Amino acid sequence: MGLFVIGAISGCYECFKPILQWTEIGAVRISMGDGHVSRYCGPSLDIRGMMLFIVSCGLAATWVVFRNDPLGWILLDLLGSFLLVSVLIGIQVPNLKACTIFLSLLFIYDVFFVFITPLFTKDGQSVMMTVATGGYDPTRDSGSGLREVIPAAFKVPHIPTGALCEDLFDDISYSLLGFGDVMVPGFLISYLRAFELVTKIRPVYSVPALFAYLMSLVITTVALIFMRTGQPALLYIVPILLATVFVIAWRRRELSSLWRGNLVELYRSHHGCETLPHDKPSCDEDPILQQNLSQQEVLTA
């Protein structure tokens, strides 16, 4: 829980930090002088940044207090979204080959721990479900908070049968979607978007991949309803997502470029630059690609 709180605070701060960079409204800085404080905090302190940090801590603290409340899932999902966005911003996969290997290994991992481990446990419960839910069935969770749950999944509430009943939130059941089931496909989709920006093409990969991901979630939900047991989401996400990307890349004759990756070389060939934008001001600067290209240069060095 502690790691989630720290990650949520950092993610919330990183997600809203660009807003402070885009506008100077309300910008107030306090000089830190020339002492030891300035060595760690910089020559000045941004009041807006400090307020954003306080708000981020407040959101995380509110979730900690009300995490077992029937409506605590709202803050959990919100903070989880901030956390995953910050991870996707900070980590860039090098090419489609790495994405495919990564997704395939996690596909095997997910299937094994959901379908195979029940054969070796005394109660017939999968290790994945036990760890993710704290040992209870989330579909019967009424929000009473009798058992602590690891904050590693989004909680999606089921629609109550009596939507107009007076006690609408007294008995809510949930489905769980692991953070990994969102983050791992996000690595692939973010790489595809970076490839599109580098090669100056329309979003012919990222948009279809996003729709394929949403379709796989719908199929997962249908399987969950009909089989009445926890489903490994990656069992449906990985084949549908990879098949969509490979078919489009094959039809466009760009499979080789996607497979090898190397966004740095692609950027140079398409923009006529010999160095990265931040190394040579005369090149066409694209701030969206700065971080991705820098990480690619480190990976290919």
Q: Which sequence positions are flagged as catalytic?
A: 110, 181
Cβ within 8 Å of residue 1, ≥6 positions away: 64, 148, 150, 151
| Residues comprising the chain, all counted | 301
- DSSP characters over 66-133: HTTSTTHHHHHHHHHHHHHHHHHHH-----HHHHHHHHHHHHHHHHIIIIIGGGTSTT---HHHHHHH
Pairing of strands 44-46, 29-31: antiparallel
Residue 252 near residue 192 (C-beta atoms within 8 A): no
Core vs surface per residue 18-34: b (16+ CB within 10 A) or e: eebeeeeeeeeeeebee
Query: Comparing C-alpha atoms, which of 111, 112, 136 is closest to residue 123?
Result: 136
DSSP 140: G
CB atoms within 10 A of CB 47: 13
Query: In the structure encoding, which two tokens stand for residue 243, read together?
Result: 């098949």
* 3-state helix, strand and coil shares in percent for the chain, rounded to the nearest 5: 65, 5, 30
CA gap 272, 277 in Å, rounded: 11
Identity at 280, one-letter amino acid code: K
